[in-house]
Amino acid sequence: MDFLINLDVDDLEGGIDFYVHAFGLEVGRRFGDDGVEMIGGPAPIYLLVKDSGSAAYAAGEPVPGAQRHYTRHWTPVHLDVVVNDIDAAVERAIAAGATQEQPIVTDRWGKLALMADPFGHGFCFVQFLNHGYDEISTA
């Protein structure tokens, strides 16, 4: 089984620039002017051009009242990017155009930085400490 990550953007070249500089990804395949495969991480990220204000779809049907926008938006799905040096990762992402949404938080399992890309998609940097999630596992 493989996972593919699809992210809508309204500026393909801007998306490429961000994901290259923030995460060190590289351009894989291009799909005309409407998409690009970003490789170099554990799963490819596909940047797909969708205009701001265009209809959002679920199960092949437009979702009433749902339109894409690229200001910060919330969704229950986001990327966690595990890093060895969270401070350096945050600095690199901010320099590439990300927004840090609150200061880095440290817990016994690790450090967490809540971020957003230039297209409003949330993501987190995670730096594990000690035994990582095993520090808080109850099973």
pLDDT tens for each residue of 68-79:
888 998 888 889
pLDDT bucket at 60, cuts 50 / 70 / 90 = confident
Instruction: Label the pairing between strands 122-128 and 110-116.
Output: antiparallel
Strand partners, 80: 124
pLDDT bucket at 61, cuts 50 / 70 / 90 = confident
pLDDT bucket at 18, cuts 50 / 70 / 90 = very high
pLDDT bucket at 126, cuts 50 / 70 / 90 = very high
Tell me which CATH code domain 71-139 carries. Answer: 3.10.180.10
Among 9-23, 71-85, 100-114, 119-133, name the one with the lowest average pLDDT: 71-85
Percent of the chain having pLDDT more than 70? 100
Instruction: Give the domain ranges of the chain.
Output: 1-69, 71-139
Which residue in the block uniquely carries the two structure tokens 């409407």?
Answer: 34
pLDDT bucket at 133, cuts 50 / 70 / 90 = confident
CA-based nearest residue to 69, from 119, 12, 14? 119
Quote the tokens at residue 136.
């808080």
Asked whether the predicted pLDDT for residue 56 surpasses 90, the reply is no
Please indicate whether the domains covering 1-69 and 71-139 agree at the CATH topology level. yes
| 3-state class (DSSP) for residue 74 | coil
84 or 133: which leads in pLDDT: 84
* Cβ proximity of 9 and 47 under 8 Å: yes
Tell me which CATH code domain 1-69 carries. Answer: 3.10.180.10
